[in-house]
Structure 1
Amino acid sequence: MLFDADPDPTVLKENAEKLGLDLSKIDLIVISHEPGDHIRGLKYIAEIMGDKPIKVYVPKHMTSSAKKWIRELGFNVIEIERIIVIAKGVAVIGELYGPPYEQALAVNVKGRGLVIFVGCSHPGVDNIVKKAVSDLNEKPYIVIGGFHLVGASEDRIASVANSLIKLGLKKIYPMHCSGDSIRGYIRKVPRDIRRWRSRTKDYNKGERMNSISNCEALT
């Protein structure tokens, strides 16, 4: 499974090689939202996937031109508006409006809670986490990805960070478009949720994914 696809096919290829990942084994892809820095790497996946049909889950209100481009690469485009379970313990959190429309990915780690992957969080990272918690009826564990806070005011930074803390997140990983200010703010909070690096192996190694409950009626 792949969440977002880098800004360039070469970047995706090099990153996968450095991590020792064989992307030809991917059978599911989730795209958070439209801008090219999240989808252009799909060209590399298209080159190596052979005849294997790969589902790409995109926001329903992504532009028709972007969806057409992905289809022309040979992918099976699945448009998502509401929450849907795509694998055991894995759900796509239905789109929220930023602008643009954006969706997220949630993985339920057994005994820990939801690991929520976000692209740029145009609708607000705290709003995305709240929606995931509400729709899945599970506690949040980690949020990781872009928080869309570059250039944000100190008040906005504090508001978002405190909102995430109050939601009960144990680890917070600001990346991509998050900016240095949010990282600096998080350094000041209690140690058990103070996380600002991109490394994620501490939660995904050796921990089993649990099935997500309370989703069937929402698909």
Structure 2
Amino acid sequence: METATLTILFDNYPGLPGLQTLWGFSALIRTPARTVLFDTGSNGRALLKNMRALDIDPAGLDMVFLSHAHWDHIGGLDSILELNPNVTVVIHEGFSRHLVHDLQGLCGELIVVGSEPRELAPGLRSTGMLAADPPEHALVLDLDESLAIIGGCSHPGIERLVEQTRSADGKPVRWAIGGFHLMYSDASAIARAIASLRQLGVTEVVPTHCTGDAARAALRQVYGAGFIEGGVGRRIELVPRRL
């Protein structure tokens, strides 16, 4: 894959001035194959406001990937579907069967991922649903020699998502992006998670949303130049890493 880009559209951490911050997460991923909205934040009006400010047209989306069913990740879905009813929506089988039934009539195509990894487009796939409370899947980008993983809240554990991705592919996972769900973790649990990421070969991290201030500070200290700031409006080039 050529260089992919990721732009954070919704986050509780500020990034660029003039954009709204609320609890939740959403990001736009552009690859040569697809333009993907990863999660939709907690509020559709705020999501669309930020998209307009960043000159991003919802009608140009090919796919909406929903990591898990919590309100702060699916709250903006209706607003996107109203403007782009033909978009493909990707969820996993842990979502409510009532939501699954309703979405079948509200979007262009509905893809329901099981527990196995699922290719969605060239260079794009789901990790497959991992058991947690709630169950969750992450989006994997193939950057030629390495992989990037984007998680919503990483309820199964960010290190578990990385390990699942690496074992399914054999390629190193260099990028870990999104919510790492360490906001309620103590210092020892944070240190263990960071040590696991390092051991698994992750070299660049973009921790935001529910990662928590303490974990972000620890990640910044450990990763140094490999720590990339998140926040609303940040645009990150996921350059394929030459090994």
Which bin holds the TM-score, normalised by the shorter protein?
A: 0.7 to 0.9
* Code of the aligned partner of 1:29: V
Q: Which residue of 1 aligns with 2:93?
A: 60
Tell me how many residue pairs correspond in the alignment.
204
**CA-CA distance at 1:200 after TM superposition:** 5.6
Q: Taking structure 1 as reference, are residues 190 and 30 closer, same or farther at Cα in structure 2, changes over 3 Å only?
A: closer
Q: Which runs of 5+ in 1 are unaligned?
A: 209-219
Instruction: Choose the corresponding residue for 1:14, options 42, 49, 59.
Output: 49
- 8 Å CA contact 1:147–1:175 kept in 2: the answer is yes
| Partner Cα distance (1:45, 1:79) in 2 | 19
Q: Which runs of 4+ in 1 moved over 6 A?
A: none
Distance 1:131 1:45 in 2: 30
Partner of 1:102: 136
- Whether the aligned pair in 2 keeps the contact of 1:33 and 1:103 (CA below 8 Å) is yes
Which structure has more relative contact order (CA 8 Å, sep 6+)? It is: 2
Superposition map of 1:151-162 within 5 A: 151-162=184-195
Q: Which residues of 2 match residues 1-219 of structure 1 at below 5 A?
A: 1-50=36-85, 52=86, 54-81=87-114, 82-111=116-145, 113-198=146-231, 201-204=235-238, 207=239
Q: Give the counterpart letter for 1:96 in structure 2.
A: L
Partner of 2:17: none
Q: Which of the two has greater helix per residue?
A: 1
SS in 2 for 1:174: strand
2: CA distance, partners of 1:74 / 1:109: 29
Distance 2:75 2:203 in 1: 32
Q: Which AA in structure 1 matches 2:127?
A: I
SS of residue matched to 1:79: strand
C-alpha distance in structure 1 between counterparts of 2:122 and 2:202, whole Å: 22
Paired residue secondary structure (1:132):
helix
Q: Deviations 1:6-30 (Å, cap 9, x if unpaired)?
A: 1111122012112211120112111
Q: CA deviation at 1:98?
A: 1.1
3-state SS in 2 of match to 1:203: strand
Quote how far apart the aligned CAs of 1:72 are.
4.7
What CA distance in whole angstroms lies between the structure 1 residues aligned with 2:223 and 2:94? Answer: 39
Letter in 1 for 2:132: G
Distance 2:99 2:159 in 1: 27
CA displacement, residues 193-214 of structure 1 (integer Å, 9 cap, x when unaligned):
233434763424xx57xxxxxx
The aligned amino acid for 1:86 is L
AA aligned opposite 1:95? M
Give the secondary-structure state (helix, strand or coil) at the position aligned to 1:141.
strand
The percent of aligned pairs where both chains have the same amino acid is 29
Distance 1:42 1:190 in 2: 34
Give the deviation of 1:192 after TM superposition.
3.9
Question: Over aligned residues, Cα RMSD in angstroms?
Answer: 2.0
Q: Deviations over 1:13-53 (max 9, x none)?
A: 01211221112011211110001211121111111115x3x
Give the secondary-structure state (helix, strand or coil) at the position aligned to 1:62.
Answer: coil
